[in-house]
Structure 1
Amino acid sequence: MNATHEINALSFEDAMSALGALYEEVDADIARHAPVCRLSARCCRFREFGHDLFVSALEREFWLRAGEPAVASDAWRPGENCPWQSESGMCHARKGRPLGCRVYYCDPAYESVMPDITEPAIARIKRITGQAGMAWDYRPAHEHLKETESAWRISSTARFTGESAALATGDTSSHRDHPQEGEP
């Protein structure tokens, strides 16, 4: 390993922090442009509106560790919709949502600005991912989440926090299909 790589190396937790800081910057930049969201839900109904949400492995880890509400497997249609979108079109994964969710708006006035925010952010995510020694693994979100569903049998009682890390290490001892007495 060369000296430059050692200096730039990030622990997994540092990479999570760096990605969180990047997301805060992106959110602030988007807020300055004030795109309008009309709750059309086009952003989350992928197949219906002809688009895919792509995420990297690092983004997936951040998303799953954000402590978002559990997903009922009957609400999720892989490749068709986001499992965290409510019937009214509201997002229930705001804190951990990936870059693609943060930057996408149907507002025509914002359309030309979107790439100016997205492209540099993707480059930074790639850099953070490399510094953490992780594979880029950039592919449709439903493929990443389907792997998680297969491993954890997503249900209305599933909890994501920490499960993805256990999946990566093969430690499934802390996973339970159902909550213990006194748990929600």
Structure 2
Amino acid sequence: MDLSDRPMRLEVAELLKRIAHGDDSALAVLFAQYGTRVYSLILYVVHDEALAQEATQDTFIKVWNNPQAWDASKGQFHSWLLTLARYTAIDLLRREVRANGRDIALFEELQADRDESAAAVEADELRALLNDLPAEQRDVIRLAYFRGLKHSELAARLNLPLGTVKTRLRLGLHKLRAMLSDKS
């Protein structure tokens, strides 16, 4: 685990504990930290400011009603919260389509946006998992997959034998797969 992430997790865990005991000021702190990101994601999904405000409020009400739902062992809080927000927005849009006969095209747009927002959350989770890898494996994976360097270019850039580069890639990817399967 990246040590820089540890204080934030403890702070979030403490806030959730306070929320579980009915401390509404803890919810206000959580909203101050994450409200803008939640609202932005929801607005991107629903394309309607009033619905985005409602879904944002609903998201934090869900946190208030069930603060123990987040499991720190299964991922970062912000990833969980954004996933909760996305599903809350989708549920609200479905209700709107049924109750008010909202344009079905909007609902179809939602389905496409859902894939994009899920990819954004997954990218955040992948970055967090990468930080849990040993530095030599993390660096090789980032250079290979995010910068597009070939194995031979990696070896030259890092001044390592080609076999070492390939081994670090293989071991790092194996560990990432294991961490991903542990999360699901």
Question: TM-score, with normalisation over the residues of structure 1?
Answer: 0.30
Instruction: Choose between structure 1 and 2: higher helix proportion.
Output: 2
Question: TM-score, with normalisation over the residues of structure 2?
Answer: 0.30
Decide which structure has the larger Cα Rg and report it. 2
Comparing both chains, which one has the higher relative contact order based on Cα–Cα distances under 8 Å and sequence gaps of 6 or more?
Answer: 1
